[in-house]
Amino acid sequence: MMKDLIFATNNTHKLDELRQILAGRYNVLSLNDIDCHEDIPETAPDIEGNAVMKAQWVHEHYGIDCFSDDTGLEVDALNGEPGVRSARYATDGHDSEANIDKLLGKLQGVTERSARFRTVIALIRDGELHTFRGEVEGEILTERHGMGGFGYDSVFRPVEGDGRTFAQMSAEEKNAISHRGRAVARLCEFLNP
């Protein structure tokens, strides 16, 4: 019997990635699967705080073990923006196309385009909190390349790789080097040492 793990996210792309990475090892359940349809607060000043807030909220309201992911894109030329505001950079909603347009607009004419994705995963197991981190260095291109992935993937080219963006890679290729893939690898090591 595969063990259930609740992933406290409303982002179906993240859910798909996690299900693929943990396939055969864990049965990843979504908020939908546990009939949670609320908007979980994410008001902390950094991604670690938001990851912890989401996992604790589900634990408090449902009394079950769970984990969450909070991710930010940090662009050096923008002093780490959009960072913790990555999801709502351009609008109040999660409009990835508008977020990319805003980012490319701010970087117009900027040649130093280094950036990184950072993920913090917060796990609550047996009432105890554990956090896991993952990062990937890269750069922001001047236009979109590729149709895969989600969020900012089409403008992010990882340093490790062959010049393609995350949106031009297969899910396996992205997961092997991505912020989330790395954070999940640490989560797995902890769960199955």
State the catalytic residues: 70
Residue from 96, 165, 168, 175 that binds ligand ITT (CB under 6 A)?
Answer: 96
Residue from 6, 48, 55, 70 that binds ligand ITT (CB under 6 A)?
Answer: 70
Residue 82 CA to its chain's centroid (Å) = 14
In the complex, what is the shortest distance from the CB of residue 149 to ligand ITT, in angstroms, rounded to a whole number? 6
The reply on whether position 65 binds ligand ITT by CB under 6 A is no
Task: Identify which of 116, 122, 125 has the alpha carbon closest to the alpha carbon of residue 49.
Answer: 122
State the DSSP string of 70-120: EEEEEEGGGTTEEETTGGGSSSSS--HHHHHHHHHHHTTT----EEEEEEE
The residue (of 92 and 112) whose beta carbon lies closer to ligand ITT is 92
Rounded CA separation 40/51 (Å): 11
The reply on whether position 152 binds ligand ITT by CB under 6 A is yes
The verdict on whether omega for the bond into residue 158 sits within 30 degrees of 0, i.e. cis, is: no
The reply on whether position 20 binds ligand ITT by CB under 6 A is no
> Which residues form the interface with ligand ITT (CB under 6 A)?
9-11, 14, 42, 69-71, 73, 86-87, 94, 96, 99, 149-153, 166, 178, 180
